[in-house]
């Protein structure tokens, strides 16, 4: 039985669809998030300015999934796990790294690579209010509409 509702906003759906055929393990992680996003070894808190709002989960093949949590939409409903972003972890190419892009979309600075990850669900769970979520999703839609980023030295 599911204890949580996993919500994938429309702006995030193309990112999930892009994982098809890549054997990233999204389905398994999705099922685990439905059972208990705070289960041992499932996820981790992001550090820095997103610590109160966002957690991450390792997928296979270098992919990461960012999520947050919200209370049930209706009384007696399931608490919500909201998928925020999915992308490839590329620390050597921070301009396209999943965490750098996520921090850019939130308009905050990505901590340096040697940061310490905070405890996972030790005292509270990540949460985001509706206004912050709406702003983030608006930025994500704008990001999807922007021309593709070209690597340095690529002239077309």
- Collapsing DSSP states into helix, strand and coil, what is residue 86? strand
> In CATH, what number is assigned to the domain containing residue 67?
3.30.2310.20
β 79-88/43-45 pair status: unpaired
Within a domain: residue 156?
Answer: no
Within a domain: residue 52?
Answer: yes
Within a domain: residue 74?
Answer: yes
Within a domain: residue 154?
Answer: no
H-only helix segments in the chain:
13-17, 26-35, 98-106, 130-145
Q: pTM for the whole thing?
A: 0.85
Within a domain: residue 101?
Answer: yes
Give pLDDT tens digits along the chain (156 positions). 679 999 999 999 999 999 999 999 999 999 999 998 888 667 888 888 898 899 999 999 999 999 999 989 899 999 999 999 999 887 666 667 888 899 999 999 877 666 666 666 766 788 888 899 999 999 999 887 866 554 444 333
Q: Which two tokens stand for residue 9?
A: 């906003």
What residues make up the domain containing 16?
4-145
Look at the chain and report how many structural domains it folds into: 1
């Amino acid at each position: 039985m599911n204890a949580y509702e996993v919500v994938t906003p429309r702006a995030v759906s193309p990112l999930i669809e892009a994982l098809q055929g890549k054997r990233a393990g999204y389905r398994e992680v999705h099922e685990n998030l439905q059972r208990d996003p705070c289960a041992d070894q499932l996820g981790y808190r992001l550090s820095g300015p997103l610590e109160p709002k966002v957690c991450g989960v390792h997928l296979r093949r270098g992919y990461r999934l960012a999520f947050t949590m919200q209370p049930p939409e209706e009384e007696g409903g399931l608490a919500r796990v909201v998928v925020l972003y999915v992308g490839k972890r590329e620390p050597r190419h921070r301009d396209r790294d999943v965490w750098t892009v996520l921090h850019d979309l939130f308009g905050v600075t990505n901590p340096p690579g040697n940061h310490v990850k905070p405890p996972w669900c030790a005292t509270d769970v990540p949460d985001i209010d509706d206004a912050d979520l709406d702003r983030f999703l608006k930025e994500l839609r704008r990001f999807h509409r922007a021309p593709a980023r070209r690597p340095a030295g690529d002239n077309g």
